[in-house]
Chain A
């Protein structure tokens, strides 16, 4: 729960971008789309976990 989370997401983003380019060059557009979707889903689950943690702390803090 610190800065490494930031770097993890940046790494996934760049990795997905590179994979997409490589697969497109290799003529496999569907696999490229699949890897992009997989990357998006992974990062989305990570982000949603963090946002729910933030919402819970704010809820307990301001006891909403």
Chain B
């Protein structure tokens, strides 16, 4: 429960700081927003670690082969970081860069998920 309060507190404090700093030096506002993003992601990192360990134990018990779960975790990691950069670029008004990052991360995700698609096709072909 206290993480939520910490996150909200950091968010509001940084909002005030950004408004104050933006009048004098607009470029420092971007630095403050980057640092706040990193801080909040750090706060939720250990919770995330617990979730991922739970997923791993469940998948290893239930016998699903581990390769797909590893790939799923990689894809979520990429989406996690890409979303961080995309929203940052959008905040600072650079929509073009944000869409480039978005497109790049989508291409990488699709290229990583090719093994899954191919194994899915094999399963389907076996059924027919």
Residue ranges of A at the interface with B (Cβ–Cβ < 8 Å): 1-3, 5-7, 9-10, 12-14, 16-18, 20, 36, 40, 43-44, 46-47, 50-51, 53-55, 57-59, 61-64
**Is there an interface contact between A13 and B21, defined as CB atoms closer than 8 Å?**
yes
Residue ranges of B at the interface with A (Cβ–Cβ < 8 Å): 10, 13-14, 17, 20-21, 24-25, 27-28, 31-32, 34-36, 38-39, 41-42, 45, 48-49, 52, 70, 73-74, 76-78, 80-81
Closest to B18 in A: A10
Give chain B residues whose Cβ lies under 8 Å from the Cβ of A51.
34, 38
A20–B28 Cα gap in the complex (Å)?
14
A17–B57 Cα gap in the complex (Å)?
53
**Is there an interface contact between A61 and B41, defined as CB atoms closer than 8 Å?**
no
Secondary structure of the A side of the interface?
A: helix
